[in-house]
Amino acid sequence: MAPDQSATQRPERLHFFLLNVGHFLDHMFTLIFATVAALALIREWGLSYAELLAYAAPGFFAFGLFSLPAGWLADRWSREGMIAVFFVGIGLASIATSFVRTPLQAGIGLFTIGMFAAIYHPVGLALVVEKWKNTGMRLAVNGVWGNLGVASAALLTGYMIDHGGWRVAFILPGLVSIAVGIFYAATQWPRIVNPPVRRRKPEGAKLSPDYRRILVRISMIVFLTTSVSSIIFQATTYALPKIFDEKLQGVAGDFVAWVDAIRAGSPSSSATMVGVLAFLVFAVASLAQLVVGALLDKHGPRTVFLGVAAIQVAFFALMPGQLDLVALAIALGFMIGAFGQIPINDYMVGKMASGDFRARVYGVRYVVSFTSLAIALPFIGAIHARWGFDTLFIVLAGCAALILCAVLLLPRRLPNPDAYAMPAAKPAE
């Protein structure tokens, strides 16, 4: 009995693993350009950091814009099929982007990457919520993989800038993604060619007006906090390599000397060390999602969200004026908050949305999220150009305070629709 059960669970574990790999690659692809712009193209193309960020914005608009049609196609066709398209498509788009020669070409390449990247969140998260229980922890584990993709973008791209050139940082992940996509399609082929029928819930008792009002209130809070938290996430993840380049040069130089890998202070060492420091902060902070996932299943979203928002307010307010080790420690604090908040809204959507429409609801959620990400890029660039990053941290502290106030309006527990159901009307005799 036990061996048969283990054999049955093995394909499901493989599927979850591949979905996690997809989340890793999704975030890595969208942030390769962040490190390339901050550490290489400023010198190679002779443009300012703010000017380069403008060419990255279309990619994040695509990241949001195509989330809704991706969710619609997944619900109408096959979620597993759309994930296979994601792996292969984003790999090809990344390889194509490695050949760009002008900022305009880069913007087009990043738009194409964003178009395929948009597939993952509405489709992959719908699969995670649909197929497995203990939703909070599953989303948290999946989120950690995504955050490690964020971290690896800075680490791998920084290393490639120093040792192979920034173009290789687009080519190698592209080849890996195509290979994973082919393997994924092979393992999920029966569900791709014969998608499972996702049945609607049977018609019966109608929901009461009280439940509808609560649902509207929660939805408004979800979309408000999604948009504001997306600005925070973009500002912290996309700008962190540049922030560290400005604030941690002393630490980076000391680290180079300590490992004695390259001559301390040489220009060729800077990008790698900034990438390593960013990776360490991202990787450690991503573990906060595991704690958040466990707490969500135990305490619900309101209490957890309040704690995470408070952490962000405190550490963003502490960051202005800090350098080197103090700045590194504070950056770890606000990244714990930024990463910790990610699974909370996904958890609420997964609990409240109907299964047959879940990918589409996630699509709407990520249209809001990634549109905010795109808007954040010129916002970051403008603040950096005029006042520097210290002003940005003050603004982010205000954004986190707004989230804190919105979360106070959430109910202590997500409502159970059955508790608010109205008895179905009896048919007339």
**What pLDDT digit, counting tens, does each position of 299-338 carry?**
878 888 899 899 999 999 998 887 777 888 888 888 888 8
**What does the pLDDT read at residue 76?**
83
Residue 211 has pLDDT above 70, yes or no: no
Residue 200 CB-density burial (10 A; 0-12 exposed, 13-18 middle, 19+ buried) = exposed
**What pLDDT digit, counting tens, does each position of 344-403 carry?**
877 776 666 555 555 666 666 667 776 776 677 777 778 877 888 888 889 999 999 999
In angstroms, rounded to a whole number, what is the distance separating the alpha carbons of residues 321 and 426?
69
Domains of the chain: 13-195+208-417 (1.20.1250.20)
Comparing CA positions, the residue from 275, 252, 246, 194 lying closest to residue 392 is 246
**What does the pLDDT read at residue 83?**
95
Average pLDDT, the chain: 78
Neighbours of 31 (CB within 10 A): 25
* Residue with more model confidence, 407 or 91: 91
* Residue with more model confidence, 399 or 263: 399
Comparing CA positions, the residue from 282, 393, 390 lying closest to residue 340 is 282
**What does the pLDDT read at residue 363?**
66
Residue 129 has pLDDT above 90, yes or no: no
**What does the pLDDT read at residue 79?**
87
Side-chain-side CA neighbours of 307 within 13 Å: the count stands at: 16
Give the mean pLDDT of 78-95: 94
Cα 17 → chain centroid = 17
Those residues whose C-beta lies under 8 Å from the C-beta of residue 370, and which sit 6 or more positions away, are 60, 61, 63, 64, 65, 67, 114, 118, 230
Going by pLDDT thresholds of 50, 70 and 90, the confidence category of residue 263 is: very low
The alpha-carbon radius of gyration of the chain (Å, integer) is 22
**What does the pLDDT read at residue 93?**
96
Give the mean pLDDT of 158-168: 80
Residue 257 has pLDDT above 70, yes or no: no
pTM over 0.75, yes/no? no
**What does the pLDDT read at residue 265?**
44
Q: What's the Cα-to-Cα distance from 373 to each of 200, 231, 378, rounded to whole Å?
A: 33, 6, 10
**What does the pLDDT read at residue 261?**
47
Give the mean pLDDT of 275-293: 78
Comparing CA positions, the residue from 240, 233, 238, 253 lying closest to residue 331 is 240
**What does the pLDDT read at residue 117?**
93
**What does the pLDDT read at residue 266?**
46
Amino acid letter for position 240: L
* Residue with more model confidence, 113 or 260: 113
Q: What's the Cα-to-Cα distance from 58 to each of 31, 55, 138, 371, 397, rounded to whole Å?
A: 13, 7, 31, 10, 26
In angstroms, rounded to a whole number, what is the distance separating the alpha carbons of residues 9 and 22?
20
The pair of three-digit structure tokens given for residue 299, joined into one six-digit string: 């305490």
Question: What secondary structure letter does DSSP report for 119?
Answer: T
**What pLDDT digit, counting tens, does each position of 228-243 carry?**
888 888 777 777 777 7
In angstroms, rounded to a whole number, what is the distance separating the alpha carbons of residues 85 and 138?
23
Give the mean pLDDT of 74-84: 88
Percent of the chain at pLDDT exceeding 70: 76
In angstroms, rounded to a whole number, what is the distance separating the alpha carbons of residues 225 and 218?
10
Residue 173 has pLDDT above 70, yes or no: yes
Alpha helices in 260-300 (DSSP H): 267-286, 288-299
In angstroms, rounded to a whole number, what is the distance separating the alpha carbons of residues 254 and 256?
5
Give the mean pLDDT of 88-110: 93
